[in-house]
Amino acid sequence: MGNLQVLEALFEKWFDNEDENPGPAMCPSTYIRTKKTDVNQKIFFIAEDSFRRCIQASEWHARQCSHNLCTNRLIQKGHVVKTNLKCGDQETPHVFSWSSSPYLPTKEYLINSRVNHGIVCSGILPSDYKRFVSGSGIGILNEEKRTSFFNKHQQHIQEEYNECIDTALLEEIASYEDLDSIDIMSDARHGWRKNAKDTSSNWRKNSQSFKM
């Protein structure tokens, strides 16, 4: 056997040993590059507490069982997902029910309530909301849920609205010397009272002045 054959035999033996003894597994990279076939995967919101709880459940399971946890089907609940984490133990598998949002005392999801709150406070139109979530694929709160949330908080919203209007009027009255009224110019070219009030004197001659 020549030197070349000896080296080839040694390398082959070394590679066989490496295959039989792979050693500790490499830590997977946290950087994930999305493939073209995966761009339509489910996207959802997740809260800090739910993220921590998922890690805690995984750590506990790793200490108790040698099998890996796998996720079952992801069920969309508005902007939240719910799933089961199940290990591969055929005899006594561990199963964890997990959702991406904590629950409120009312048994509703915190995330969905926060999104509902944002919809109401932002003034976004229902049609705009539906187009946005449909285009981004982040789930959707159905009309029944949104209407129920609004009706539940309608009284508080109206009270805050009235208080803001009263405060704005009082602040506006306080900015005038006589402290008894507000000058509103009927110049239809201006959408804001302040703009109409501060227009030039030439335009002011052609405008009517009203008292409130």
CA–chain centroid gap for 166, Å, is 34
pLDDT recorded at residue 31: 87
**DSSP at 158:** H
How far is the C-alpha of 146 from the C-alpha of 137, rounded, in Å? 18
Give pLDDT tens digits along the chain (212 positions).
Answer: 566 676 777 767 766 665 555 556 677 788 888 888 999 999 999 999 999 999 999 999 999 999 999 988 899 999 999 999 999 888 889 999 999 999 999 999 999 999 999 998 888 999 999 999 999 999 999 999 999 998 988 888 889 889 988 898 888 878 777 666 666 655 555 555 555 444 444 444 444 443 44
CA 146, 43, 67, 54 torsion-angle sign: negative
3-state helix, strand, coil split of the chain in percent (to 5) is 50, 15, 40
- Give phi and psi for 76, each to the nearest 5: -80, 130
- Are 100 and 44 contacting, i.e. CB atoms less than 8 angstroms apart? yes
